[in-house]
Structure 1
Amino acid sequence: MNLNITGHHVEVTPAIREYVVTKLDRVIAHFDNVTSVNVILSVEKLKQKAEVTVHVRGKDIYVESDDANLYAAIDSMADKLDRQVQKYKQKVSDHNHDALKHQSPEA
């Protein structure tokens, strides 16, 4: 898995990088098919923003969150991403289950 963390108008310090990696590891542990993750951290006046795009097989999952505190924005982003990944995983699981259910048995 490739992980790319970028900062716009903010320096990505080792502490911030470690915090983001810790949060994303918790989320991505649910899902095996992640090929790459792009994180963009930005500051616009009083708004701290965290965006993430997770590339999985067949889909890109995009989540963004903003807050007055960058760490709070990262927390919120991780929670939203967790819900999106679980939703996608459930959808794929249901789709595979339905495909198996509709197959005709061989004679």
Structure 2
Amino acid sequence: MNLNITGHHVEVTPAIRDYVTGKLDRVIRHFDNVTSVGVILSVEKLRQKAEVTVHVRGKDIHVESEDSDMYAAIDALTDKLDRQVLKYKTKAADHGHDSLKNHVAES
């Protein structure tokens, strides 16, 4: 997995890099098909914004989060990403099983 963390108007310190990596590893550990992950951390006035794009086979999952604290924005981002990943996994799993059920029912 290729992880790219960039900062717009904010310096990506080793502490922030480790925090983001730790949070994303928990979410992506359940996923085998991740090819790359792009994280953008930005600051606009008093808004701290975190964005992530997870490239998986067949789809890109994009999530954004804003907060007054960068760490809180990262936490909210990982929660949203976790929900999106679970949604993608259940859709992929259901899709395969539905076609099998329909085929058996028609026979």
TM-score tier by shorter-chain length is over 0.9
Q: Does 1:63 align with 2:63?
A: yes
| Pairwise CA RMSD | 1.2
Partner of 2:10: 10
Give me the whole-angstrom Cα distance separating, in 2, the residues matched to 1:96 and 1:36.
24
Partner of 1:35: 35
Partner of 2:98: 98
**Structure 2: 5+ residue runs without aligned partners?**
none
Greater per-residue helix proportion: 2
Equivalent position amino acid for 1:28 in 2: I
- Paired residues, what number? 105
Cα deviation code 1:60-88 (max 9, x no counterpart): 00000000000000000000000000000
Give me the whole-angstrom Cα distance separating, in 1, the residues matched to 2:53 and 2:95.
23
Equivalent residue of 2:24, what SS? helix
Partner of 1:50: 50
Structure 1 residue 102: deviation in Å? 2.6
TM-score norm. by structure 1 comes to 0.94
Structure 1 residue 100: deviation in Å? 1.9
Give me the whole-angstrom Cα distance separating, in 1, the residues matched to 2:102 and 2:61.
28
Partner of 1:87: 87
**Shift >4 Å, 4+ stretches:** none
**Structure 1: 5+ residue runs without aligned partners?**
none
Give me the whole-angstrom Cα distance separating, in 2, the residues matched to 1:99 and 1:15.
47
Give me the whole-angstrom Cα distance separating, in 2, the residues matched to 1:87 and 1:104.
26
Give me the whole-angstrom Cα distance separating, in 1, the residues matched to 2:102 and 2:22.
41
Give me the whole-angstrom Cα distance separating, in 2, the residues matched to 1:10 and 1:103.
54
Structure 1 residue 30: deviation in Å? 1.6
TM-score norm. by structure 2 comes to 0.94
Give me the whole-angstrom Cα distance separating, in 2, the residues matched to 1:33 and 1:100.
22
Identity of aligned residues (%): 77
